[in-house]
């Protein structure tokens, strides 16, 4: 049972890295052909990729009955090695292609103190993120308990609080909460823009997805693909809400950008940090959309271009379905278990044994 769980966890992380590579190519192609405003399609694609990665180990086992016996990366690498593709001893190559199995065995048996230390650090990090998540939940509860109601729209409660400088949205089991700073009540335009923006997050399901990623984060904190995917999703959700609101004739682009800057200035002065279980109006400055560029700057630059953004793809377009199919096939090939006694594997093992015998028979100087 333990071995199966460790295998699943490692396979899911490998699958996440694989689909991340596909996504990098997709982003480059979209930008190259003028479809960089396909925010909704890109968001749906990333969420689908992350779902594929989580289900990847199951898909690999289901696909085993449909794919040819040698349709896996490991057997292709062995064939490539035997055809002279790489200059390396057979023993070293065997070690490389068998690293995953060796890692699983080491994690299950824990024979080395280094492994025990590594697992201890991972458990400590996992515990830290869980404690921080609980702390975020208690902090939100404290803000909501000390806020006062402004109005209510169905399951959405709009409240004001003097314990936050940034408007944000969070949720309970059945209800949503839009929280605005008390200082913003006196400015009708800022209030209107902030509430409309946060309501748009609720319509898009961003608050629920934020809860999902926050719960997954303690398990995937060490995987760079998860962190980069989540960072991009944070940017996309803001761009989508900005685009939806700026498309309305009642919203002024200049006032919208001024509100973004005003909230960011207030947050910087208060040194307020982001809560993992909430979707803020403006991300903290440390959250970069590009190298050296804050998400705020990124949003304002896109807001200036949005009226001329006519070229975008939908998720159902063939240009988006093809990467999804490619990612699914890549997961099947990467996670597919190689055959133990194929002709190439037997030949590789024979070469490795001959190299070992030669090393034993070679006199040391």
Q: Where are the domains of the chain?
A: 2-356
> CB–CB of 46/232 below 8 Å?
yes
- How crowded is residue 293: how many other Cβ atoms within 10 Å of its Cβ? 11
Cα–Cα separations (whole angstroms), residue 24 to 236, 357, 358: 15, 45, 45
pLDDT at 64: 66
**Which of 169-183, 225-239, 334-348 is predicted least confidently?**
334-348
Identify which of 272, 335, 364 has the alpha carbon closest to the alpha carbon of residue 64: 335
Instruction: Provide the percentage of residues in the chain whose pLDDT is more than 70.
Output: 82
Record the tokens describing residue 359, joined without a space.
Answer: 């090393």
Kind of pairing, strands 176-181 and 168-171?
antiparallel
Identify which of 230, 241, 224 has the alpha carbon closest to the alpha carbon of residue 303: 241
pLDDT band at 202 (very low <50, low <70, confident <90, very high): very high
pLDDT at 340: 63
Q: What is the DSSP track for 270-282?
A: HTPPPPTTSEESS
- Look at residue 287 and tell me whether its pLDDT is greater than 50: no
Higher-confidence residue of 16 and 259: namely 16
pLDDT at 305: 65
Identify which of 243, 349, 330, 234 has the alpha carbon closest to the alpha carbon of residue 284: 234
Task: Could you list the beta-strand ranges (E) of 64-111.
Answer: none
Average pLDDT over residues 79-88: 77
- Look at residue 314 and tell me whether its pLDDT is greater than 50: yes
Q: Determine whether 101 is exposed, middle or buried from the number of CB atoms within 10 Å of its CB (0-12, 13-18, 19+).
A: exposed
């Amino acid at each position: 049972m333990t071995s199966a769980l460790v295998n699943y966890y490692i396979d899911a992380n490998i699958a996440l890295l694989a689909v991340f590579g596909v996504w990098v190519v997709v982003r480059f192609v979209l930008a190259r052909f003028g479809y960089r405003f396909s925010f909704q399609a890109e968001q749906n694609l990333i969420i689908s990729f992350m779902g594929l990665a989580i289900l990847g180990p199951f898909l690999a086992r289901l696909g085993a009955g449909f794919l040819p016996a040698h349709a896996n990366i490991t057997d292709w690498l062995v064939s490539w090695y035997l055809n002279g593709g790489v200059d390396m001893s057979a023993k070293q190559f065997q070690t490389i292609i068998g690293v995953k199995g060796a890692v699983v065995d080491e994690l299950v048996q824990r024979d080395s103190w280094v492994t025990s230390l590594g697992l201890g650090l991972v458990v400590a990090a996992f515990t830290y993120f869980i404690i921080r998540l609980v702390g975020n939940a208690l902090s939100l509860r404290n803000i909501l308990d000390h806020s006062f109601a402004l109005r209510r729209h169905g399951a959405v409660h709009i409240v004001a609080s003097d314990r936050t400088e940034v408007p944000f949205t969070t949720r309970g089991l059945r209800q949503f909460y839009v929280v605005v700073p008390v200082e913003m009540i006196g400015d009708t335009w800022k209030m209107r823009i902030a509430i409309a923006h946060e309501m748009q997050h609720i319509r898009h399901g961003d608050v629920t997805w934020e809860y999902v990623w926050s719960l997954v984060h303690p398990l995937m904190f060490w995987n760079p693909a998860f962190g980069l995917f989540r960072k991009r999703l944070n940017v996309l959700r803001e761009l989508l809400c900005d685009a939806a609101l700026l498309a309305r004739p009642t919203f002024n682009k200049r006032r919208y950008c001024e509100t973004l800057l005003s909230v960011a200035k207030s947050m910087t002065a208060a040194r307020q940090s982001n809560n993992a279980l909430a979707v803020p109006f403006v991300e903290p400055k440390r959250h970069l959309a590009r190298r050296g560029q804050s998400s705020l700057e990124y949003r304002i630059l896109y807001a200036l271009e949005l009226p001329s953004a006519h070229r975008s793809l939908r998720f159902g377009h063939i240009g988006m379905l093809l990467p999804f199919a490619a990612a699914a096939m890549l997961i099947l090939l990467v996670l597919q278990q190689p055959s133990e006694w194929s002709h190439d594997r037997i030949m590789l093992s024979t070469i490795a044994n001959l190299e070992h015998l030669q090393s034993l028979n070679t006199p040391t100087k």
